[in-house]
Structure formats: C-alpha cells, structure tokens
Structure 1
Amino acid sequence: MQSGISDRIPNPRLLPHPTRPPHNHEKETLVPLTVLQPSTSSFETDLSLLTPHLTPKQALYILLRRYPSTNPAPFIAITYVPDAAPVRQKMLFASTRLTLVRELGIERFKETIFATKEEELSAEGFKRHDQHEALAAPLTEEEVSLGEVKRKEAEEGRGAGERRSHVSSGVAMPVTPEAVEALKRLVGEGGDNLVQLKINIATETMELASSTSVPIGGLASTISSTEPRYSFYRFTHTHAGEETSPILFIYTCPSGSKIKERMLYAASSRSAVQIAEAEAGLKIEKKIEESSPEDVTEQSVLGDLHPKVEVKKAFERPKRPGRK
C-alpha cells in the first residue's frame, strides 16, 4: 500500500485487515475490499452504501471523505470491530489502527472513530457521535488510537503508592508495588509459581490479581476465563534429563471480554513484559497468547518450549537387482 491519499477518492472506501494465517507472521497485509461511488451529494444519505459490507464477524478499516477536498483534513478513519469478530482480529485492529492512518498521512484525517455496532455508522449514529464530540474534551491522535485509555497524568502524590513503567511503545501503565513484589518472588525456587496481573480499567493501573502455586495442569482452572489476564508462570519440569524452571508469559483474552478491555490489554501486553523484566528482574523464556486458558495445556507448553526437530534420513542408493 502506498502512502498518501488522492483527493479523487470517492466518499466511502473500505479496507479490511484479514486475520493472521496460522504460524505465518509475514502475510499480515491490508487488502482493499471495495470502493463505493457516492450516489448523492449527502454524506449522511450515502452512509447506507456501507450496510451490505458490515457483517457480524468481519472487522474493517473504513476510510470516508466527509468534508470537501479543499479542507486540509477531508477524511475520517473508522475502525469497525463487531463484538462477534474473532479475538485475533480484535487484537490486530486495536494494535494497528494508528499505523494505517500514519501510512496514509495522518494530517489528512480530521478524526478517527472506533465502532462495534452497525447502527453507529448510520446517519443517526453519526449525529449522536457529533453531539458527543461537541461536549467531550478534545483528545490527541495518540489518545484516541490507544483506546482512549490515558486521560491525564497521575498526580504527584499518587507516585508514592504506584510505579510507572516506561516503555518504548504500547501503553505505559502504572503498576502497584504489590504486583512488582509478587513478580520478584518468582525468581527464586519454592513459594508461588503463578502470578496473575489485571488492569483496573477505572484507574488505568496494572494490579496484582492473584499469586498462587499450581501444577501446569491447573492453569486452565486458575487463570480467569471471563476476563483478560497477564499470567507469569514458573514452569519447573525435566527435559532431556535436566530440570529447568523457565518463566512463561501467558496472555489470555476470552472472547466474551468487553471491547475496551480487549483494546487496553492488547495495547499494554508489551508493557506487562517490560515491567516483569525491568522492575522484577525476570527473564521471560516464552510468550504464549491464547483466547482461552483452556488452550494452555502441558502438551502445548512443552511443544512451544521444546519443539521436536525432524531428523531427515540420508538418501540411500537403491541396491542393484540380484544383490542382498
């Protein structure tokens, strides 16, 4: 996809982001779906052209020219992620929506919108959106793109009870001392081997959800199946006659999670890892990402840690006829 947008682009243009092919990190590309020619001179009336393309399980990037081409920022960018879309799509869209706008020229877009329901992209939906924007305080592009999860910097007095992690990308999230201390205890043998962190959506803070000791077969029943979690697990096991205790980072995001939770957790996962490494001194051996805790089994973890190496047999020349 080339950067920049032609002034001649019609009103609505849809760009879907396909799901990731299994085990292939090279094919995540934006593919044009269609270009819709405006049927009237009214933006609100032409919104009905989008309806056939809005399906319950397919996320889309939608680029609309809402304002005259003489306007320095005539376009708006919509990220449409229906609740029933696959979890992988939701995470990809949440983490790449700003990248798309930047590639096309961020100065050309007056605003970005995140929608989860078809009615939000109707004429009435835009009317409600405009009324809300007129009342709301203006947000920067970065704040909007990260799911509107950073409102103000924490006041100075709050710094005594929490530590702020500084990361190069993603959402920089305050973390409570209790969470850091629990992570530090994973370094040594004995004691708890599973630390779960959660995000307090109201305060935008990373907190300790629980610290327990469970066998690997108990992860599915211990990690929350209703809310996203960052889980750090010390997996003590024997492989090839040697006992090892690697630290695993397990990010789970159940499909029933709220859309704001999914966006915030997806954008903050790197922050969680860097908190563990920089502030708790952990060395993360393996990162695992699953929709449900039930997908994290001993067999799958061992397969990730110790993949089987296929040994190819050397080519054997066929024996000549008559010889044994």
Structure 2
Amino acid sequence: MQSGISASQELHTAFQTLVSSPTQRGLLITIEKETLLPLTVLHPSTSSFDADLSLLAPHLSPKQALYILLRRYPSTDPAPFIAITYVPDAAPVRQKMLFASTRLTLVRELGIERFRETIFATKEEELSVEGFKRHDRHTALEAPLTEEEVSLGEVKRKEAEDGRGAGERRSHVSSGVSMPVTEEAAAALKGLGGEGGDNLVQLKINIATETMELASSTNVPIGGLASTISATEPRYSFYRFTHTHAGEEISPILFIYTCPTGSKIKERMLYAASSRSAVQIAEAEAGLKIEKKIEESSPEDVTEQSVLGDLHPKVEVKKAFERPKRPGRK
C-alpha cells in the first residue's frame, strides 16, 4: 500500500542542513496537504544521544503521529541516522494508515543509505533512554556465530560500506523493494517456481528488525490452506496452485495476504504498508510471476471455491437484444 505522498523541497533542504550540521540532533516531520513537511529541528546537540532525547520528549503527543529523524551515530559513519515512525494508538485511524504507508517513501526520497535502521513506535516510552536500551537489547539477540561466520559477516559489512547501492540484497532500492529479506526466505521462494517440492511459502515480518523472514515452507492441498496459514498473526503466503482448467493443467502462483482482526495494531499497520514489498521480493529476488493477489482477514476465507472464482470468473453471457415483433394488422 503506497500513499502517493512525496517529500517537499523544504524537507529536502532541512534534511541536508541536518546532515551537514552536527549541532542539530534531529528533525521532526509531518504530513500536510499530501506532502511531507519539516516541523521542528532538535538542537543544540551535545555529545550524548541519551541526554539529547530530552529535546524530543516535549514534542511527543499521545494523539499525533510524527516522523522523527535522529543522528545517533558519528557523522563519519556512512549511515549516522535512524528514522522513527511514531504512531500512537490514540491517533486518528486515517492518520495512522497515512503515516504507515508513507514511511518507506520518506527514507527512499531522503536517501535510504543514510539510515542505519528504521524503527516503528507506538508509545512515548519506546523513545526514552530506557526504551532505546530495550530496543538495542532485542536487536542484539542473535544466535552464536562460528569464527568463519563472523569473518564472513565482516567481509559482507565492508563490501556494503564500500559498494553501497551496487546491487546488495539489503535495501533492494534498485528493484523497488524496500524491506530486506533473509536468505532463507528468498531461497524458499525460489523453490516455489519449480514443479514438485513445497507449494506454500509463508513470510512474516520481524517487527524489531523490520525484516521479512521465512515463517514456514510446506506442501499442502488448497483445502488445507485455512488450517496451515496462521490464524493469529498476519502472513504473506505464496501458493503454487496446481489444478486443471479448460482441460489444461496449470500452476499459477498466488499471493495471499491475511491479517486477522485480533492481531496487534502495530503488526496490522506494518504488514499493510509492506505488502507491496513482499510481492516485489518474490518477483525480483525469486523470479516468480504472481498471477493473482488475494487479501482476506482470516485464512478461513481462503477456500478452493473462492480462489477458483478469483482465477476463473464466470463470464456472463448477455442475451442479444431482440427487436419486438411488429404488431400484426387488424
């Protein structure tokens, strides 16, 4: 879902000033008249990021969404900024959807390579000193790596810094895909393109890292989709539906986006804003051709009958107009 909103020239100018001015800690941005506009500059900046969070606190409202750009790392870092989408639970519904669907546009237009990470927050305490510490602890929870994996990771990091924008998987700017995807998820999608093997690949979003990950890869008949796709969390499901139509066996790839009504509002907004990215990942990374896109609240609504109706809608044959008979002469 994309909003069609773009950054104003005033915002580009304000951001360039932020980039070149170490005395500025951050920039607050809002949406007015379908345009991204600078709202407030956070300054003066000190040497302590934690201390400077006090500059932000007075501008946070429980009913007003904001974009917040903060300088968190040294100016010598290739990506010194973080981009925060702050959408409180009590904000108006239209505002929530507008800010959620425009967040990726914001970092793309300002230069995604300048941002170390993007964060989605719904509460003021998430943007406090303790809130950032919790965030950092969560993102630091990684599986132990072997010495070889550590060395390989350092090589990839160095290549990313030296060749940013040269076709790495991390940002997908060249292919128009905005959210990173894990290698495991991409490999599963590629396997979906061939005959045999698994025919259902489910992707989920890691909310903390804003990365698409593999939820599961299985082989199920279409009647088993309702019981296989998660009924409690949103999912992006890619399904190879092999069936016979008009005497021919065909295997179209379906994109099924399900978002249960009981899922968390933060999840619902992030999944809605990133569904286009999921499709682009499948097309650009795995070479899949999506024949049909289906959106449902519950997996139970995805049935063989409904899918066949979407793929092969019945053509209504209109009866030709018949000129009324000329009345006979008396």
TM score, norm. by length of structure 1: 0.54
CA offset digits 1:104-134 (Å, max 9, x no partner): 9999999999998999999999999999999
When residues 2 and 170 of structure 1 are mapped into structure 2, their CA distance, relative to the original with a 3 A threshold, is: closer
Distance 2:307 2:124 in 1: 39
Point out the more displaced range, 271-280 or 38-47: 38-47
Distance 1:141 1:121 in 2: 35
Contact 1:234 1:245 in 2 (8 A): yes
Provide the secondary structure at the position in 1 that maps to 2:238: strand
Point out the more displaced range, 160-169 or 65-74: 65-74
| Structure 1, unpaired ranges of 5+ | 6-13, 20-25
Distance 2:297 2:169 in 1: 29
Question: Partner of 1:15 in structure 2?
Answer: 19
- CA shift, 1:163, in A, is 3.4
Distance 1:277 1:147 in 2: 26
CA offset digits 1:212-231 (Å, max 9, x no partner): 01111111111111111110
Contact 2:238 2:256 in 1 (8 A): yes
Distance 1:17 1:91 in 2: 32
Distance 2:147 2:98 in 1: 18
- CA shift, 1:299, in A, is 1.6
- CA shift, 1:276, in A, is 0.8
CA offset digits 1:266-295 (Å, max 9, x no partner): 222122111111111111111111211112
Point out the more displaced range, 302-311 or 182-191: 302-311
Provide the secondary structure at the position in 1 that maps to 2:136: helix
CA offset digits 1:234-270 (Å, max 9, x no partner): 0111111111100011111112222221222122212
Point out the more displaced range, 41-50 or 91-100: 41-50
CA offset digits 1:43-98 (Å, max 9, x no partner): 99999999999999999999999999999999999999897999999656632589
Contact 1:146 1:264 in 2 (8 A): no
Contact 1:3 1:104 in 2 (8 A): no
Distance 2:22 2:89 in 1: 16
Distance 1:98 1:129 in 2: 20
- CA shift, 1:204, in A, is 2.1
Q: How many percent identity over aligned positions? A: 92
Contact 2:283 2:289 in 1 (8 A): yes
When residues 67 and 194 of structure 1 are mapped into structure 2, their CA distance, relative to the original with a 3 A threshold, is: closer
Contact 1:161 1:176 in 2 (8 A): no
Provide the secondary structure at the position in 2 that maps to 1:307: coil
Task: Report the RMSD for the aligned CA atoms in angstroms.
Answer: 10.3
Distance 1:157 1:104 in 2: 19
When residues 125 and 162 of structure 1 are mapped into structure 2, their CA distance, relative to the original with a 3 A threshold, is: closer
Provide the secondary structure at the position in 1 that maps to 2:244: strand
Contact 2:81 2:115 in 1 (8 A): yes
TM score, norm. by length of structure 2: 0.53
Contact 1:16 1:59 in 2 (8 A): no
When residues 198 and 78 of structure 1 are mapped into structure 2, their CA distance, relative to the original with a 3 A threshold, is: closer
Point out the more displaced range, 304-313 or 30-39: 30-39
2:209 is the alignment partner of 1:203: yes
Point out the more displaced range, 74-83 or 287-296: 74-83
Number of aligned positions between the proteins: 310
Provide the secondary structure at the position in 2 that maps to 1:148: helix
When residues 175 and 18 of structure 1 are mapped into structure 2, their CA distance, relative to the original with a 3 A threshold, is: same
Contact 2:171 2:177 in 1 (8 A): no
When residues 254 and 315 of structure 1 are mapped into structure 2, their CA distance, relative to the original with a 3 A threshold, is: same
Contact 2:88 2:123 in 1 (8 A): yes
Contact 1:252 1:289 in 2 (8 A): yes
Contact 2:3 2:98 in 1 (8 A): no
Contact 1:185 1:192 in 2 (8 A): yes
Point out the more displaced range, 278-287 or 49-58: 49-58
CA offset digits 1:10-50 (Å, max 9, x no partner): xxxx999999xxxxxx9999999999999999999999999
Distance 1:241 1:137 in 2: 50
Which structure has more helix as a fraction of its residues? 2
Determine which of 88, 107, 110 is the counterpart of 1:104: 110
Distance 1:106 1:159 in 2: 10
| Structure 2, unpaired ranges of 5+ | 6-17, 24-31
When residues 242 and 319 of structure 1 are mapped into structure 2, their CA distance, relative to the original with a 3 A threshold, is: same
Distance 2:251 2:67 in 1: 43
Determine which of 215, 220, 226 is the counterpart of 1:220: 226
Contact 2:181 2:212 in 1 (8 A): yes
